[in-house]
């Protein structure tokens, strides 16, 4: 299996690298460029094309972004410019790069990577991966099959959207005490646990590297483990999705 390019569009940075899909890791060090503000589709895809161009790459590209994505078209824009809604990001990036592009949700990409190469390997039951960052992303798998575009970060919880109640942003940018935040996350996890009865939660997002500081607050019926691919899950999963689309 040759290398496939993966790219992850985030609220603060756009990161990408060729991915070695035999081992499930970046083939070379990734390139990161700040996300343009405002993060309009044209501006973002210009930067994405620069990230790909940096490697002189030509071939299939997987691109993850923080939106519901159906057939290459973004249908939501919670932490990105609202102009994305209704935009065919896949065609836009293809036009800029002349590469064949697969566009998908960022948490779905992270989930694909964790299920193949990380904490979800060999898990056959109902698995819910959550990414805690600026927002909360979700990916759901049953018997290894993904149910795409779940948006559990936008469930109404305690009178607000769950991601306003429990995103890692509260700790990382708004100085909330981490114990306090972890207790909020636990309430949210228990709610999901009750509604979906998963066999496993995979806890992802940048803050998962501090797992040791807060996991003692979690008390769910389902097992809960930290993501293994950490920051690169979106890139690896995007490349995987692009590869699978070509099969």
Stretch that binds ligand BGC, among 31-39, 100-108, 212-220, 238-246 (CB under 6 A): 100-108
Taking a C-beta distance cutoff of 8 angstroms, is the pair 30, 36 a contact? no
> Angle 52-239-41 (CA atoms, 0-180°, nearest 5)?
55
Residue from 3, 79, 97, 102 in contact with ligand BGC (CB under 6 A): 79
Residues 48-67: x/- map of binding to ligand BGC (CB under 6 A)?
------------------xx
29 by Cβ neighbours in 10 Å (0-12 / 13-18 / 19+) ranks as: exposed
Segment 178-197, which members bind ligand BGC (CB under 6 A)? Answer: none
Q: Which is nearer to ligand BGC, 79 or 232 (CB)?
A: 79
End-to-end CA gap in the chain: 11
8 within 8 A of 234, measured Cβ to Cβ: yes
Q: Which of 135, 204, 226, 237 binds ligand BGC (CB under 6 A)?
A: 135
- Asked if residues 113 and 236 have their Cβ atoms less than 8 Å apart, the reply is yes
Q: CB of residue 69 vs ligand BGC: minimum separation in angstroms?
A: 8
Residues that bind ligand BGC (CB under 6 A): 66-68, 76, 78-79, 105-107, 131, 133, 135, 137, 151, 153, 163
């Amino acid at each position: 299996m040759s290398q496939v390019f993966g790219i992850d569009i985030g609220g603060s940075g756009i990161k990408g690298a060729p991915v070695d899909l035999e081992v499930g890791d970046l083939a070379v060090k990734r390139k990161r460029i700040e996300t343009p503000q405002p993060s309009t589709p044209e501006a973002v895809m210009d930067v994405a094309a620069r990230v790909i161009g940096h490697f002189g790459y030509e071939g299939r590209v997987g691109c993850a972004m923080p939106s519901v994505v159906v057939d290459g078209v973004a249908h939501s824009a919670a932490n990105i410019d609202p102009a994305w809604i209704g935009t065919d990001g896949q065609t836009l990036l293809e036009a800029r790069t002349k590469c064949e592009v697969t566009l998908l949700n960022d948490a779905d990409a992270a989930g694909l990577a964790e299920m193949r190469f990380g904490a979800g390997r060999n898990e056959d039951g109902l698995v819910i991966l959550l990414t805690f960052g600026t927002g909360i992303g979700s990916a759901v798998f049953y018997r290894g099959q993904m149910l795409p575009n779940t948006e559990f970060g936008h469930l109404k919880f305690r009178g607000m959207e769950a991601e306003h109640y429990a995103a890692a942003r509260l700790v990382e940018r708004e100085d909330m005490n981490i114990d306090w935040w972890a207790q909020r996350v636990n309430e949210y996890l228990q709610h999901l646990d009750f509604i979906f009865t998963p066999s496993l939660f995979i806890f992802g997002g940048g803050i998962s590297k501090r797992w040791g500081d807060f996991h003692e607050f979690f008390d769910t019926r389902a097992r809960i483990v930290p993501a293994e691919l950490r920051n690169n899950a979106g890139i690896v999963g995007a490349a995987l999705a692009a590869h699978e689309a070509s099969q």
